[in-house]
């Protein structure tokens, strides 16, 4: 294996997996708040880019069968949304969409005084309204379930996010 001198290249796909998991926790925490700040939205967007990028890391890894991986990704109903959001954030304009090149990220506020004007975040795509919290959680769980056979669970403790350690 070629020696890597840059920190970001010194680890295999597991480091990207755990980055995605940390972004997932931040995104889920943000989406559970009543009102999101710009930093919270950054965390959500970073999750989508990180989750989608994990596929690229896996493609470059030994022992991962890319055709099997792509078949499982294609079968996941949330993957197309993840791909479209990540590519939309990276490239601004989608030319090759998985699901809907004109997706909309949308926030709705409740008018219920008991909920203190809680914000609910959605993605409108393919004629459907998708809960962003559900998408984040589902994609994170999908990756965990898919990659569990590759011995990732033993690394949970040392790679928890800063907030989880305290």
Contact 57/13 with Cβ under 8 angstroms?
Answer: yes
Q: Are 101 and 80 in contact (CB under 8 A)?
A: no
Position 3 in a domain:
no
Q: Which range marks the domain in which residue 29 is found?
A: 13-165
Residue 44 forms part of a structural domain: yes
pLDDT in tens, 78-133: 998 999 889 887 767 766 666 677 777 888 877 665 556 778 888 888 889 999 99
Reading phi first (left if > 0) and then psi (alpha if -120 to 50, else beta), residue 120 is in beta
10-65: pLDDT as tens digits = 567 888 898 999 999 999 999 988 888 889 989 999 999 999 999 988 888 766 77
109-119 residue pLDDT tens: 776 655 567 78
Is position 98 within any domain? yes
Query: What's the pTM value of the predicted model, to 2 decimals?
Result: 0.80
The per-residue pLDDT of the chain, averaged, comes to 79
The structural domain count of the chain equals 1
Q: 85: number of CA atoms within 13 Å, CB side?
A: 28
- Flag whether 6 is in a domain: no
Is residue 8 in some structural domain?
no
Give the distance, in angstroms, between the CA of residue 124 and the centroid of all CA atoms in the same chain. Answer: 17
């Amino acid at each position: 294996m070629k020696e890597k001198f840059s920190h970001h290249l010194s680890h295999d796909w597991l480091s990207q997996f755990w980055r995605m998991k940390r972004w997932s926790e931040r995104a889920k925490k943000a989406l559970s708040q009543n009102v999101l700040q710009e930093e919270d939205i950054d965390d959500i967007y970073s999750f989508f880019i990180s989750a989608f990028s994990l596929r690229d890391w896996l493609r470059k890894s030994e022992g991962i069968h890319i055709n099997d991986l792509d078949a499982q990704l294609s079968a996941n109903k949330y993957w197309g949304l993840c791909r479209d959001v990540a590519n939309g954030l990276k490239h601004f304009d989608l030319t090759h969409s998985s699901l809907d090149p004109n997706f909309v990220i949308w926030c709705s506020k409740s008018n219920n005084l008991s909920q203190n004007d809680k914000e609910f975040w959605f993605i409108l795509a393919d004629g459907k309204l998708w809960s962003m919290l559900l998408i984040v959680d589902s994609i994170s769980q999908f990756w965990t379930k898919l990659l569990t056979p590759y011995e990732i669970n033993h690394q949970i403790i040392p790679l928890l996010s800063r907030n989880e350690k305290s």
